[in-house]
Structure 1
């Protein structure tokens, strides 16, 4: 499988672009689950994460959110990785439609500079709105990260929010919208399929579908032993990572499957979530937190 990285990477963004938001900081507003530790590439690497928008929590069973992809990730070499459109069918394809495009160093510099004014800095107060079971949006730029409950769901007249908190939320929401628009606008390069170096295989025990669900064709698993190491003792989801030729083989098989395909291995049946690893992600430890 040809790796996309070699054909799209532009000159790495100078280090001062990353340093603009590199002061120590943690999430502000409503706290979310702890971010899982992960080793990252050196600042000289194009794999260094510049900005990310992701969501977690809300009225979704915890076992259904393991391995959730960020809405948007921007890297030091200009790559922007997002989820592209998927067919409106059920069950959906087994593999997510990840797309990658390029931003210029000037675009990344501008987005980085605007982060602090948008509230992506320690101490920004976003308040706690009167909304139940809403997801939390996390915005990370450099080393600064803020987590906000119900960023897009809170009502304009929410009595639990002060005017200052409403203003802070509006600024952050506008910044998130700009990140999304810049990464998909005419000034960005044409997108292409993201081809990961490694793929996480998240396996859970297969259960018989509820009445009325269409039966799915079983497929024999030919990858590494399942289920792998459990990510959480209370949630029986195992994880293994495949790379190189093994990843190519697994992805080729997954292209023939859907999200509800039963995979058979050693007399057991599994449902599998195929999760491409992003450039800054190193393995199964990435999914032991809130993603």
Structure 2
């Protein structure tokens, strides 16, 4: 079994981050020694997020890609656990949830800013194609700050002669600073790492299913068909050009689909209304409510 380079950061779109309350208010954060006004965040407001956009992958994966890290106003931290590179993979992603304190939340915001989020604007573009951009978002209770960096995980030293074209020495130094920040977050001793967070499996209250026409191939023909227990597929059109549709379900239907996913994998043909579908299941995060959130994230 192999894991990705970033482990918990393995593997879309502006994030809707506002100071308006959306749900129960979390505890206020103190001013500390700074003399700044007391702040408070609603429980389901994203205070920090690191996610990835673009890159060369399938349309369904683009539509259902999960953020690497989401930190909410009440201190909840949702990350992606270790993933296998074997195919077909599991039907559901390995999402984990833990919690940090108010002080740790404020320190995370401070550290992100020190790394360049909110102050750096132009980080150049290394001469490499079809890789992802890393997007950082910080919300301090008053304003949202965002930074998107193309090919952050690729150092110019990895690209051979001429790799510095399109990236100045100053930009490369800023990139290294951000890359070190990203890698430190979920490192063994990092502020969001397994040694620090007491994590458990994230259980969503809502799940989205992105469906596309089933195509038989050598791998899918080996998979047992599973009866779809949720709302009739394929659902509403998500992207006309890409042939994707989506349906959202909650409550008992969500529990039934999650249970059925335990006997399925990413290549499972799901049977609904007399037809077979390939389905990518996407647990919805606390700040998401339906398929529309997926359509807006890419």
Same fold (TM over 0.5): yes
Distance 1:122 1:234, change over 3 A: farther
The 5 Å alignment of 1:72-87 reads 72-87=69-84
Q: Which residue of 1 aligns with 2:204?
A: 196
> Which residues of structure 1 form unaligned runs of 5+?
1-10, 21-42
Compute the displacement of 1:126 (Å): 0.7
SS at match of 1:248: helix
Give the TM-score, by structure 2 length: 0.79
Q: Which residue of 1 aligns with 2:184?
A: 178
CA distance in 2, matches of 1:131, 1:87: 26
Deviations 1:163-184 (A, max 9, x none): 2111211121122123223111
Distance 1:212 1:140, change over 3 A: closer
Q: Which residue of 2 aligns with 1:106?
A: 103
CA distance in 1, matches of 2:202, 2:73: 16
SS at match of 2:64: coil
Distance 1:53 1:259, change over 3 A: same
Q: Contact 1:130/1:154 (CA < 8 Å) preserved in 2?
A: no
> Which residues of structure 2 form unaligned runs of 5+?
1-24, 35-39, 158-162
Deviations 1:181-203 (A, max 9, x none): 31115332x21010111111111
The 5 Å alignment of 1:13-24 reads 13-14=27-28
Q: Are 1:139 and 2:136 matched, yes or no?
A: yes
Deviations 1:122-175 (A, max 9, x none): 652211111122211111111111111000113146132112111211121122
How many aligned positions are there? 255
Deviations 1:18-40 (A, max 9, x none): xx9xxxxxxxxxxxxxxxxxxxx
Question: RCO (CA 8 Å, sep 6+): is it higher in 1 or 2?
Answer: 1
Distance 1:275 1:46, change over 3 A: same
Give the TM-score, by structure 1 length: 0.81
CA distance in 2, matches of 1:185, 1:235: 37
Q: Which residue of 1 aligns with 2:175?
A: 169
Q: Are 1:232 and 2:232 matched, yes or no?
A: no
